[in-house]
Structure formats: structure tokens, C-alpha cells
Amino acid sequence: GAVVSQHPSWVICKSGTSVKIECRSLDFQATTMFWYRQFPKQSLMLMATSNEGSKATYEQGVEKDKFLINHASLTLSTLTVTSAHPEDSSFYICSARDGLAVRGTQYFGPGTRLTVL
């Protein structure tokens, strides 16, 4: 079955530093990838949608200059949290759409736990 990986699985950083999270589709071409954020015991909130080769579309209230998304290839999207602060601590989850599948099913990665000290 289709597999989406994320790296790293967890990261701890100091306030003010930037953190990059990678999302890869391992055995399919992901024309579209989505980034979600999940706070403890809460639901997944869509942050942005990225299409390969174009700029990401951000949801209302998500700062595009703080959460930089790059989708440079059909198998890789990155989310960079710039100048991270403790309130950015969360579980970040990506998902990828199989661009060649008729059903266009969306597959989720295992998530990245970010802790900002």
C-alpha cells in the first residue's frame, strides 16, 4: 500500500530557531500534499495545501512567513517552522494525494512531534 514518511519523528529545539520537517511519498507521486497541526487531545487542523511546483495555499490564520512550505518534487514536501516559539509546539502531520490513482486517496504520514523550549 501507499506509504508516506515524515522526518524527523520528533524534534526538540530552542525558542527562536527554525525547524524543517520533511514529508515523503515513498511509492507514489504526490501531486498534492497537505499539512495539518494537532494539539494534544484535539483534532487535526488544516494548515496549508501544496501542489508540486507551485506556491502553497494557506488556511486563514496560518502565517505563511512563519510556516514555509516547499513542494519541489512529486515525492517531497517540506514544512519549515521559522523562529519557533513554545506556542508552536504541536504534532505536525502531512498527507499526500496519489496523483495517478483514480480515487485520489489521501495517505497520512506518521507525524512529527515538535517541542520548542
Partner 1 sequence: GENVEQHPSTLSVQEGDSAVIKCTYSDSASNYFPWYKQELGKGPQLIIDIRSNVGEKKDQRIAVTLNKTAKHFSLHITETQPEDSAVYFCAASPEAGTALIFGKGTTLSVSS
Give contact residues for partner 1 (rule: CB under 8 A): 4, 6, 32, 34, 42-46, 49, 93, 95, 97-98, 103-111, 113
- How far is Cα 50 from Cα 68, in angstroms, rounded to an integer? 11
Provide the minimum distance between the beta carbon of 111 and partner 1 in the complex, in angstroms, as a whole number: 5
- How far is Cα 25 from Cα 3, in angstroms, rounded to an integer? 6
Nearest residue (CB) to partner 1, 24 versus 97: 97
- How far is Cα 94 from Cα 34, in angstroms, rounded to an integer? 5
Q: Grid cell 501542489 — which residue?
A: 51
Provide the minimum distance between the beta carbon of 72 and partner 1 in the complex, in angstroms, as a whole number: 20
Nearest residue (CB) to partner 1, 37 versus 84: 37
Provide the minimum distance between the beta carbon of 42 and partner 1 in the complex, in angstroms, as a whole number: 7
Provide the minimum distance between the beta carbon of 63 and partner 1 in the complex, in angstroms, as a whole number: 18
Buried b (16+ CB within 10 A) or exposed e, 31-69: bbbbbbbeeeeeeeeebbbbbbeeebebeeebeeeebbb
Nearest residue (CB) to partner 1, 34 versus 81: 34
